Structure 1
Amino acid sequence: MTDRSDSRIRGGDRRRKTSGKRRRATTFLAWFAAALVLLGGSGLGYVYVKLDGNLSGIDINALLGRDRPPDADNGSEDILVLGSDSRSGANAVYGQDGGGARSDTAMVVHVHKGHKTASVVSIPRDTLIDRPECTDSKGATVPGARLAMFNTAYEVGGAACAVKTVETMSGVRMDHYIEVDFTGFKKLVDQLGGVRITTTRAIDDPKSHLRLAPGTHTLDGEQSLGLVRTRHSVGDGSDLGRIELQQAFVKALIDQVRSIGLFSSPKKLYDLADTATRAITPDSELDSIPELVGFADSLKNLGAKDVQMITLPVRYDPADRNRVLPLQAESEQVWTALRQDRPIPASATRDSAGDQGDANGVVEGG
């Protein structure tokens, strides 16, 4: 890779200073969406029929056309889960829009054949990639760029450009797309009765306003936001360390939803479904309640123990520690495993900065 200075998005450092809080909140919601995808038949189906009006889909297939990876057609499914930080509407409470919506954290959720196991690959937002030419939601052509940050794909071209970028990077065709807005995430956690986690050492982060002693805690929505924003008191202080915390949190979230017995409280079930369906924008093949419930029901046997979570193999950019570069051979191992519907080999992440940080193991399921 060359010509790094010419291909960077200008003003990146300024945006990072002004939008840190909302980026961290959005990161959590992206993980929450991954949990929703993986939760499956947790009892929401029978009330969803009343909530169809909350959903509005994006026709990704029409925007992308035919220039896409082939459909694997092997019984597996791939879903791109994306958190966006638009400052419009209710999101204005989190600050003013600094130049358009961006994607914070993207996850490729690969559900293996038989839908009994899944692999999740998180793509750090500051990963430098070659962004392909794409078509935005208005049908306009968006030029490609070399060594652009991954999260600029959504910024310049919306959902379709984000999907196009992931498919170009991976060679994996996305069967579905789910986008998450973060305004309702604290309410979702509170409606669940909190999320139970265990910390193996103290967390005291003044920037995220979270203080936790070592031990087991049931976090409410505000504390959950603090946890997934935390980076300065654990690990190396980077976003890669924060992703490790988030991976542990989403597994705890999956187990929490599976264990609380939503059928015992119809009102709680309805309130959760109402908030959840307002928080997501799916692709047009999942934008009705019957479609969404059918998809979720096919995943109902997945628990946290059945989900392998990794971060895309990366190394810090020697020219700028605020950016990361994919490890090409190791990344190809990851994408090849997904294309062939196989577990991701441990060798793919052995030398990656994303899965070897000392934030790993700080948070466990309760």
Structure 2
Amino acid sequence: MNVADDQMPPADVPATETMHPKHRRMVLRVILVTHLVLALLTGVGVAVGYQQLNGNIETLPGIPDEVDRPDKVKVEGPKQPINILIMGSDTRDGEGNQIDGESGSEGSDTTILLHISADREDAYGVSLPRDALVDRPECVMADGEKIPAEQLAMFNEAFSLGGPLCTVQMVEKLTDIRIDHQIVVDFNGFKDMVDAVNGVDVCIPKDVDDDEHNIHFDAGEQTLSGQQALNYVRERYVLSVTGDIGRMTRQQAFIASMINKVVSAGTLSRPDRVYSFLDAATSSLMLDEELANLKSLVDLALQFKNTGLDDIKFITVPFAEYEPDPNRLVWTDEADDLWERIRNDRRLGREFSGDSLSADDPVGTTSGAPSGDGSPTAEESADAEAKAAERLAAGLCA
């Protein structure tokens, strides 16, 4: 047997199960591209499908020219970094868009600033708490109407008053980061995306019996369907000792797990699931004019071909309790360091990545693993214990 034969996996073991994770993810991308090419060869069928998917997408109004915006930071190389503001919205009517029993409160329950590096090998999402108090600047709407500025306003009030336009202007003013794209996702479509990939895996540390909001879960690792997933990411009374902060951490973990599921062989090897996911995603998205077409979305997705799951991380902006009211938060001075990193297209670094959640390990099965080959050091053990405690407080398995 030659060297090449000796390296081949056994005949009854799928090749993707024996490969290095980086190679395995590349194989999965090849599977996806192959299916897309085969779909293109079907002619009329894909034309109809393309029209359907493209027609699903809604366009958001652009930032008015009169608004003073941060400059784009240029870096060397053929590509530039991308900053996308993602907002989860409960503004649309329908049974799926109810939070805590109330419908259409016209707020943004989830806001994430996603930074994609210029080399497309690194991406991280920064969650922005809805209960943080910020100095909201004046917002200019598409029709020229101006929404007055307000000091110590709740972060999510910007969306209630002026929708994504006002939220983008506020984030740019507070961070001095140019937002390249804005995306709004409605909750009803979120359910359909989960169902399209046949559910998303989570680990729940304890039983949940929230009769008031009709949310019930058994403890342990499990795969959640669409409605279950919606209940999971909204629950903030039983699972999370830290309330909304814990819920925000669980939302990060769930998004990471969904990314993991979308790029898994079980999804990419099934064209019907790929199409169903794209149909659900495009039906639930509102995007800025530049992104609001299927071609632009596909072009953006293809730029991630060199981004491994372990390179996609989620963190929360550094915050502290607002002393006069412990139910409110404020960003700390460390947030300024984070915004500077994003402006200059720098990696998170140890300062911020230590508490991050990775799309490569959304359930947290390796979060306490030692960095070396032997037993963990005392410092590593202490860090692992602290991280486990934080995960439990947020309603995640340790």
**Shared fold (TM-score, shorter chain, > 0.5):** yes
CA gap of 1:320–1:285, structure 2 versus 1, over 3 A, is same
User: Does the 8 A contact of 1:106 with 1:123 survive in 2?
Assistant: yes
Residue correspondence of structure 1 range 208-247 to structure 2 within 5 A: 209-214=215-220, 216-247=221-252
Distance, in Å, in 1 between the alignment partners of 2:74 and 2:258 is: 30
* Shift in Å, 1:189: 0.9
* Shift in Å, 1:70: 0.7
For residue 68 of structure 1, give the secondary structure of its aligned residue in structure 2.
coil
User: Does the 8 A contact of 2:97 with 2:186 survive in 1?
Assistant: no
Structure number, greater radius of gyration = 2
Tell me the equivalent position of 2:396: 363
Distance, in Å, in 2 between the alignment partners of 1:339 and 1:359 is: 33
* Shift in Å, 1:191: 1.5
* Shift in Å, 1:190: 1.4
Q: Which amino acid aligns with 1:69?
A: P
Instruction: Note the alpha carbon deviations across 1:133-192, whole angstroms, 9 max, x for none.
Output: 111233211111101111111111122111000101111101111101111222221111
Tell me the equivalent position of 1:292: 297
Tell me the equivalent position of 1:52: 54
User: Does the 8 A contact of 2:241 with 2:393 survive in 1?
Assistant: no
Count of residues paired in the alignment: 320
User: Does the 8 A contact of 1:249 with 1:363 survive in 2?
Assistant: no
Tell me the equivalent position of 1:142: 147
Residue number among 204, 220, 226 corresponding to 2:208 in the alignment: 204
For residue 58 of structure 2, give the secondary structure of its aligned residue in structure 1.
coil
* Structure with more contact order per residue of length (Cα contacts < 8 Å, sep ≥ 6): 1
Distance, in Å, in 1 between the alignment partners of 2:233 and 2:72 is: 34
User: Does the 8 A contact of 1:112 with 1:341 survive in 2?
Assistant: yes
CA gap of 1:40–1:175, structure 2 versus 1, over 3 A, is farther
Tell me the equivalent position of 1:271: 276
Q: Which amino acid aligns with 1:338?
A: I
For residue 104 of structure 1, give the secondary structure of its aligned residue in structure 2.
strand
Tell me the equivalent position of 1:188: 193
Q: Which structure 2 segments of 5+ residues have no match?
A: 1-27, 40-45, 356-386
* Shift in Å, 1:55: 1.4
TM-score scaled to structure 2, two decimals?
A: 0.72
For residue 82 of structure 1, give the secondary structure of its aligned residue in structure 2.
strand
TM-score scaled to structure 1, two decimals?
A: 0.78
CA gap of 1:123–1:208, structure 2 versus 1, over 3 A, is farther
Distance, in Å, in 2 between the alignment partners of 1:192 and 1:67 is: 41
Q: Which structure 1 segments of 5+ residues have no match?
A: 1-38
* Shift in Å, 1:89: 5.8
Residue number among 307, 321, 325 corresponding to 1:320 in the alignment: 325
CA RMSD for the aligned pairs? 3.0
Percent of aligned pairs with the same residue?
34
Tell me the equivalent position of 1:68: 69
Distance, in Å, in 2 between the alignment partners of 1:324 and 1:338 is: 22
Distance, in Å, in 2 between the alignment partners of 1:232 and 1:89 is: 24
Distance, in Å, in 1 between the alignment partners of 2:93 and 2:223 is: 32
Tell me the equivalent position of 1:333: 337
For residue 210 of structure 1, give the secondary structure of its aligned residue in structure 2.
strand
Distance, in Å, in 2 between the alignment partners of 1:85 and 1:120 is: 21
* Shift in Å, 1:286: 0.5
Distance, in Å, in 2 between the alignment partners of 1:197 and 1:358 is: 13
